[in-house]
Amino acid sequence: MFRIVCKESLNSSVTKMVIEAPLIAAKARAGQFIIFRAKEDSERVPLTIADYDRENGTVTVIYQIVGGATMELDSLRVGEELHDFVGPLGTPTKLDGLKKAAVVGGGVGCAIAYPIAKALHEQGCEVHSIVGFRNRELLILEDEFRAVSDELHIMTDDGSYGTQGLVTKALEELILQGHRYDEVFAIGPLVMMKFVAATTKPYGVKTTVSMNPIMIDGTGMCGGCRLTVGGETKFACVDGPDFDGHLVDFDEAIQRASIYREAEATQREAACRLMDKEAE
């Protein structure tokens, strides 16, 4: 079983959890993910590895409480155990040889962007990080990004912190200032990644996006995580989660993601009722 050794609320809807998982910690690399089940009858849900500590044998995940499965996960306390915690899965992000890179994160996607920025920094790459949030209250991982970034640009939709505007605004300004990036990494909502890729394409800047569609088995057998990339069908769990942002069919991915919204809302309501009964 996988014991929770630390749990911290980063904002009103995002939580950081450190899990005792020495075998996963020994092999984990930036860009990979795990699949968890909070309880025996819980849904299988993927979460990207936000950090790992090989010496202490722990893996850190950061999740947003949006549905029944994450509500069940968030109901667990320090010292309790997750029923399943499988990984590392997926292909690690390819970072070798990069000298200068921009890492763009949006919302809770910053939890995925951070380990990439950290790994780039540790190999001596110049890192420019751009992170975006709706407002200051939703900001996460500021200190962590500052520690691994040569430049950090914080964007908020309402201007309550950092600079008002979208991450694409900051990215294009940096490119126009003459910064020549070997690669741009974009992680966040599908719409954000779509427009980051659209921003870099005219300048010929290689752009990698991290895709996180619905997954069930994590082995490519169920087909739930299929995407169209360069006109070909790919599976995020085994071919990704990283893909060339200029080749991903984002419109298709956005349409497929919207199919599950009603089911997610129903499951969230059911989980709320269940936890209310358990609390009585």
Instruction: Tell me the CATH number at 6.
Output: 2.40.30.10
Using alpha carbons only, what angle is made at residue 184 by residues 179 and 185, rounded to the nearest 5 degrees?
A: 150
Dist. CA 179–CA 100, nearest whole Å: 9
277 domain-assigned? no
- Domain of 238, CATH number, reads 3.40.50.80
Give the range of the structural domain holding residue 60, as residue numbers without chain letter.
2-89
Number of Cβ atoms within 10 Å of the Cβ of 196: 27
Q: Band the pLDDT of 259: cuts 50, 70, 90.
A: confident
Using the 3D structure, point to which of 40, 58, 89 is the last residue of a domain. 89
268 domain-assigned? no
Q: What is the pLDDT of residues 108-121, one digit of tens each?
A: 999 999 999 999 99
Shared-domain flag, residues 11 and 83: yes
Give me the pLDDT at residue 224, please: 78
149 domain-assigned? yes
Helix, strand and coil in the chain, % to nearest 5 = 35, 30, 35
187 domain-assigned? yes
Domain count, the chain: 2
Give me the pLDDT at residue 50, please: 92
Of 60-69, 152-161, 174-183, 247-256, the range with the lowest mean pLDDT is 60-69
Shared-domain flag, residues 123 and 236: yes
Q: Band the pLDDT of 261: cuts 50, 70, 90.
A: low
Shared-domain flag, residues 105 and 84: no
**What pTM value is reported for the model?**
0.87
182 pLDDT above the threshold of 60: yes
Q: Band the pLDDT of 280: cuts 50, 70, 90.
A: low
